[in-house]
């Protein structure tokens, strides 16, 4: 027993001597701090990785659904003349309007191959008759850029909501099918064509909505949205014909009244003549 107590006392004494050394406790504190700091850093790193993974997943999801996103703050363009220098260009042939005067209708006809056709756009030409640069009236995508034997080079640009612009009688083009075009970008040069030889160097410009040609002069310097509103108004007028005015209603009612009175008089006259004839017949048959 004494030997065991002696050994235990000896171990305690060595341990006490060990902890009495100056470097022991600082070393313990330093090791503890390193362990704690390592644990904190590991936890932060794991948390950051989770956040990055979540953000990556959210970003991927948003990227996958980018077609459903709506562009905010997109500027609305105004329709402009399809020329670089509009001050030196004039309208030499207008759009054929069905409600225009006889003289205006005749001026909006194109004579080709002894046949008159209605102008579906406007013809622009310089005052001196020279060629000039033709530019895009609106931003869009070129869906046609080809030479036609009668119309000259033709460029068609597609816009949003079924809207398109057409440029004919070009002597040359600087764009091709599939090109993205900005407003006022030069797409070619005005030239001559066989369809309207008397027009000389000019460009024929059309605005089409769902394939229907519209008068470009009605929308110049106006936002593109005005075209959609005009089409909606036109459609509503077709569905709901204009109601007759008060004067027209009065005239219609008066005419109907006169027709009724005239019919009644004619019936009375017929009855009187029939009765007279019957009386004459009876008189002639008496002895």
pLDDT at 260: 64
Q: What is the pLDDT along the chain (287 residues), one digit of tens a residue?
A: 555 555 555 655 666 665 566 666 677 777 877 787 787 777 777 766 665 566 556 555 444 444 444 445 567 899 999 999 888 999 999 999 999 999 999 999 999 999 999 999 999 999 899 999 999 999 999 999 999 999 999 999 999 989 999 999 999 999 999 999 999 999 999 999 999 999 999 999 999 999 999 999 999 999 999 998 888 877 766 554 555 555 665 666 666 666 666 655 555 555 555 545 554 444 444 43
Query: What domains are defined for the chain?
Result: 86-239 (2.70.70.10)
Contact (CB, 8 A) for 185 and 166: no
The CA distance from 202 to 188, in Å, is 12
Kindly state the DSSP code that residue 77 receives in the 8-state scheme.
P
| Single pTM value for the model | 0.60
- Identify the three-state secondary structure at position 43: helix
Structure tokens given for 247: 């004067």
- Give CA–CA dist 167/95, Å, rounded: 14
In the block, residue with structure tokens 């406790």: 25
Question: Residue 168: what pLDDT?
Answer: 98
pLDDT attached to residue 282: 42
Element containing residue 124 per DSSP (H, E): strand 122-126
């Amino acid at each position: 027993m004494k030997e065991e107590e002696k050994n235990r006392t000896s171990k305690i004494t060595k341990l006490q001597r060990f902890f009495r050394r100056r470097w022991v406790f600082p070393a313990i504190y330093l090791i503890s701090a390193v362990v704690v700091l390592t644990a904190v850093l590991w936890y932060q790193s794991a948390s950051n990785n989770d956040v990055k993974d979540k953000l990556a997943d959210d970003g991927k999801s948003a990227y996958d659904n980018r077609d459903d996103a709506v562009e905010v703050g997109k500027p609305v363009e105004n329709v402009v003349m399809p020329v670089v220098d509009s001050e030196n260009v004039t309208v030499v042939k207008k759009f054929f309007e069905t409600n225009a005067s006889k003289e205006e209708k005749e001026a909006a006809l194109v004579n080709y191959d002894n046949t008159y056709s209605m102008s579906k756009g406007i013809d622009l030409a310089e005052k001196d008759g020279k060629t000039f640069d033709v530019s895009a009236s609106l931003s869009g995508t070129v869906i046609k850029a080809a030479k036609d034997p009668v119309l000259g080079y033709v460029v068609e640009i597609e816009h949003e909501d079924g809207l398109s612009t057409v440029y004919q009688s070009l002597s040359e083009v600087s764009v091709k099918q599939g090109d993205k075009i900005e407003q006022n970008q030069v797409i070619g040069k005005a030239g001559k064509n066989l369809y309207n030889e008397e027009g000389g160097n000019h460009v024929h410009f059309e605005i089409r909505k769902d394939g229907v040609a519209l008068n470009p002069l009605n929308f110049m310097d106006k936002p593109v949205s005005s075209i959609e509103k005009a089409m909606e108004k036109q459609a509503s007028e077709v569905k709901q014909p204009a109601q007759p005015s008060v004067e027209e209603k009065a005239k219609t009612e008066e005419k109907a009244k006169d027709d009724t009175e005239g019919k009644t008089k004619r019936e009375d006259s017929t009855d009187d003549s029939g009765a007279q004839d019957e009386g004459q017949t009876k008189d002639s048959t008496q002895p």
